[in-house]
Structure 1
Amino acid sequence: MLCYFSLNGNNSSYSSYNIISCVWICLCRLGGCCVTSSACDDLRSILINNRSLTTLDLSENNLEDSGIKLLCEGLRDPDCTLQEMWLGGCGVTSSSCDDLRYILINNRSLTTLGLSGNNLEDSGIKLLCEGLRDPGCTLQRLTLGWCDVTSSGCNDLRSILINNRSLTTLNLSRNNLEDSGIKLLCEGLRDPGCTLQEMGLVWCGVTSSGCDDLRSILINRAFFLRE
């Protein structure tokens, strides 16, 4: 049984989608393979019909919001069993976040969602947080590095840290959170209901002032800061 299939960095065209649909593949990587939104209808079908696929990496492809909408149709299907979806650097904007919000609420198999390198902005983060705040959300790992999040988005993220019981890893690296955003995040981390285990805050505009808030978190709970 073929469990791992990678065509990262190749111009795979449509032949790779036929392979994914026919072979017993658990993990498929198509990062940087010149996949566009026009191919996402085929990928949507694969998400619905391939019961063995657990990980799909489509990073660094120009899927745009129109492609994400088609993928979300697949993720929305009750037969979809995908566990990890990587969409870093795929031209996703805040317009897609309402579709992704619905997935976070209703999909029970997806545990990892990678969205780093997309222009989600604070408006997109707000929509994602609505999904993460829902008691039905089962996502465990979310990457939002380099997504144009500012300190304004940290109030929504603070509420997630307090209320979400499934999320264990949150990467916010390379966003301009500044000390004011770190303070809000630390309020969430300080809450006794917070279950987060790992947080990425590399290149977030933190100064010594923000480090004092982080120090209090590190002293009072078992927690990991990483990229």
Structure 2
Amino acid sequence: MDNAVTPSYVIAIDGPSGSGKSSTSRGVADRLGLRYLDTGAMFRAMTWAMLDAGVDVSDAAAVAAHAGTPVLVSGTDPLAPTITVDGVDVAEEIRSEPVTAAVSPVSAVPEVRARLLELQRAIIGSGSIVVEGRDIGSVVAPDARVKVYLTADPAARAARRAAEEGGSDLAATQESLLSRDRIDSARTTAPLTMPEGAVHIDTTDFSLDEVIGQVVALVEAAEAVS
């Protein structure tokens, strides 16, 4: 690792889809020798479990009733993160179109959020971890030593996501991202919002290495005054 931080550190990185959360979070964790947790993958895994079990994801009561059933395990190696459901590797399946289309309604169910919040806090434990998501600095780890909120303009976000998905239609991808923003920002439980005390970074005009460098600098500055 290039640097070292206090073992109890929790670095919370929030923001909408396509803002660069995952790549930045993995890069920061790798550079600082920390663990990494993708909470979005956990919500996707729960969604996959619902679909696999034949649960009607538009029926909040049905989703709530099944929320305690799947066994989710998240690996925390930033260079090789893993996610399993009932012992099955679902890292590829959770990125499928059906899961993407269903993850917002599943994520909005309070019982799902409560179940995953418990799992997330258990993984975070005493720290030494970079955690990414949409409510990390506001709900999951409000006492995180460093909080970052990443954004990018819609066109840049759509281009990134389309590239990840192998050249998807840009206009359709952008509308899908904006639709999810509206759902995530309007939900009653743990809405997408910039946490109090977070540093806002607009990643539109920066390279990945530049964004990672900015976050690492924030961590080093926080370490210097601790």
Q: TM above 0.5, one fold?
A: no
Q: Which has the larger radius of gyration?
A: 1
Higher RCO structure, 1 or 2 (CA under 8 Å, sep 6+): 2
The TM-score, its normalising length taken from structure 2, stands at 0.29
When normalised by structure 1's length, the TM-score is 0.29
